[in-house]
Amino acid sequence: MDTAALVDAVESNGRRLLEAAATDLAAPVVACPGWDVARLVTHVGQIHAWMTATIEADTLERPTHRFVDAPEGDPVTWERAILERLVEVLRSTDPERPSWTWGVQQQVGWYARRMAHETVVHRWDVEQAVGAPTPIDSDLAADGVDELVHVGMQFSTNPNKSFVYPTGSLHLHRTDGEGEWLLRVDGGEHFVVSREHAKGDVAVRGSGPDLLLYLWGRRTEGLEVFGDRDLAAAWAKVAP
């Protein structure tokens, strides 16, 4: 997806997240045990603010700024202003401008993609907490799968964290558009992703949104699993 579409996704899903959150800040969030909607909105606001400050720092050096604290009582209004600033910065900054990231791509455009998928998944979380989640755009979700397996499941901002990968391979097959991925661990150590039609030790088939939510450990409904279901469940636990 192009950067403009990704920034639009940040804005639209951020607004939908806040609209849903305002209906019940005390609702528990199933995907984040121990958190209520207010805590999740605070988390999203902290991430959005940190990313904005990192882009504005305009450096390839690792950031030293810390997460901001949310005010007591009204995280929705607080995050709404942060979201607007993030969108403004992403739209006004050249996506090819060099910037520190924790991925291979060291450009501002990396943040548009990362924030689009961070926001859409947490929008789904909030909507699920307060009622019924609305659909995720399938092409956006498929790009989210690709971003997750090439970035989120390989790189960590925490130097003390190492990912634990299952020993068997996983083939993902999108059923509502183009998209296939093979995830495996080479030599029991190196995580390797390829975009191809290939046989894995377990195969998971589903729509773009269903595959995205599966990999983020959100749900397994709507999926077809061929092979070892325990292995499929193990892959759903890798995402940070």
Between CA 50 and CA 222, with CA 208 as vertex, the angle to 5 degrees is 120
Q: What tokens were used for 42? A: 């605070």
pLDDT in tens, 97-114: 999 998 889 999 999 999
Q: Tell me: do 110 and 9 sit in the same domain.
A: yes
Residue 111 domain flag? yes
Residue 151 domain flag? yes
Residue 91 domain flag? yes
Identify the band that residue 71 occupies on the pLDDT scale cut at 50, 70 and 90.
confident
**Structurally, how many domains does the chain consist of?**
2
Q: What is the CATH number of the domain that holds 65?
A: 1.20.120
- Phi/psi at 104 (5° precision): -70, -40
Entry pTM: 0.94
Q: What tokens were used for 32? A: 């984040």
Residue 102 domain flag? yes
What is the extent of the structural domain holding 156? 147-235
Written in H, E and C, the secondary structure of 98-159 is: ECCCCCCCCECHHHHHHHHHHHHHHHHHHHHHHCCCCCCCHHHHHHHHHHHHHHHCCCCCCC
Nearest-10 crossing angle of helices 37-57, 75-92: 30
pLDDT in tens, 140-164: 999 999 999 998 888 655 555 667 8
Q: Tell me: do 47 and 72 sit in the same domain.
A: yes
Q: Tell me: do 164 and 105 sit in the same domain.
A: no
Residue 240 domain flag? no
Amino acid at the residue 19? E
Q: What is the CATH number of the domain that holds 175?
A: 3.30.1050.10
